[in-house]
Amino acid sequence: MQLILRPYVLKLRHTFTISRESRDEQPSLIVELKEDGISGFGEATSNPYYNITIKGMMNDLQQLEPLIADSSGMAPEEFWEKMKSQLTHDMFALCALDLAYNDLYARKEGKKLYELWDYDISHNPLTDYTIGIDTIEKMVSKMKEMPWPIYKIKLGSDRDIEIITELRKHTDAIFRVDANCGWTADETIANAIALKELGVEFIEQPLPADDWEGHKKVFEHSVLPIIADESCQVEADVDKCFEHFHGVNVKLTKCGGLTPARRMLVKARHLGMKTMVGCMTESTVGISAIAHLLPLLDYVDMDGALLLANDIATGVRIEDGEIFYSDLHGTGVTLT
């Protein structure tokens, strides 16, 4: 099995702002695993918050080349365990590798991933479309440019309720809000009352990741469900979030790929929590992998590739929030 690393710089259609940063482009690493003329593809983007660079991931993966070459035919779970023991410090690289291996494995079996996992795709949720923080005028115009049934609005400014009040004047769509750790517990409890009135469905990660006392207080008093993102990174975090959040937003790059993400989602559902998968600003390679988890999800945020000016692959297609799978096996991706 051959490892091929393909670094890209993805260009964004609009400058994207959340509570801690602004950006116009997004470096991304595509990992290809090739065997017997069949290729599987995975992706992980760079991430300053988690100290992840493309160069760092490439170095980590290049060192595993002999181990990867020697791992043909393993079950994906076994492959993941073997690679994780070498990549404990780099979940993003592990994610890209795991996606590529799952894709390759399913293609060799002649199945789409959701078929391999025996998932029922008839009740898949719609994906939201994200509006970054900007002036209210620009947020309204971005929303109008992309008529959509569900928007996820990034908050964490000093005029959050005003933003949602204004946006609500222009659409009846469902709103979700993501404060990216920007609020206090008391602000969250108060904001939830106002936001519920404005047709908001849930609040994602209002408090800093490690404020567990605050999470508990908000969990007990918020009138809206609270979904963990920065507080739920790896498998062990699902248990920690129980009775501190109403649900979890799992990111493939943070937990190390599809293999652990599936276990986290099953566990969260078992605990009676809502399940969500979120994306990074990433290409259709990563987005197509997420699509195969839809049957396990209550909510999904997989608009990453829609925010790009130069997508680098075809795979799943998204129309008005609905996800359509490619006819190809595996994740269904082809690099363009």
The reply to whether 267 belongs to the active site is: no
CA distance 69 to 249: 33
204 is in an annotated binding site: yes
Residue closer to Mg ion by CB (options 98, 229) is 229
Of 154, 217, 254, 274, which one is the catalytic site residue?
154
Q: Kindly state the smallest distance separating residue 32's Cβ from Mg ion, in Å.
A: 28
Using CB under 5 A, which residues numbered 27 to 56 contact Mg ion?
A: none
Identify the sign of the CA torsion 159, 161, 167, 169. Answer: negative
Q: Find out whether 229 is annotated in a ligand binding site.
A: yes
- Please choose, out of 71-79, 157-165, 222-230, 291-299, the segment that lies near Mg ion by the rule CB under 5 A: 222-230
CA distances from 31 to 54, 102, 313 (A): 11, 12, 13
Least distance in Å: CB of 179 to Mg ion? Answer: 9
| Shortest spacing between CB 105 and Mg ion, in angstroms | 30
Minimum Å gap between C-beta 106 and Mg ion is 28
| 229 makes contact with Mg ion (CB under 5 A) | yes
Mask 73-112, x = binds Mg ion (CB under 5 A)?
----------------------------------------
Q: Which residues 176-195 are close enough to bind Mg ion by CB under 5 A?
A: 178
Q: Which is nearer to Mg ion, 233 or 326 (CB)?
A: 233
Nearer to Mg ion, 160 or 229 (CB): 229
* β-strands 129-131, 334-335 pairing: unpaired
For 216-233, b where at least 16 C-beta lie within 10 A, e where not — what string? ebbbeebebbbbbbbbbb
**Could you give the 3-state DSSP secondary structure of residue 176?**
strand
254 is catalytic: no
The alpha-helical segments, DSSP class H, found in the chain are 54-62, 65-69, 76-84, 91-109, 113-116, 136-145, 160-168, 185-197, 212-221, 237-241, 252-255, 258-270, 284-291
Residues in touch with Mg ion (CB under 5 A): 178, 204, 229
Which residues are catalytic, by number?
Answer: 154, 251
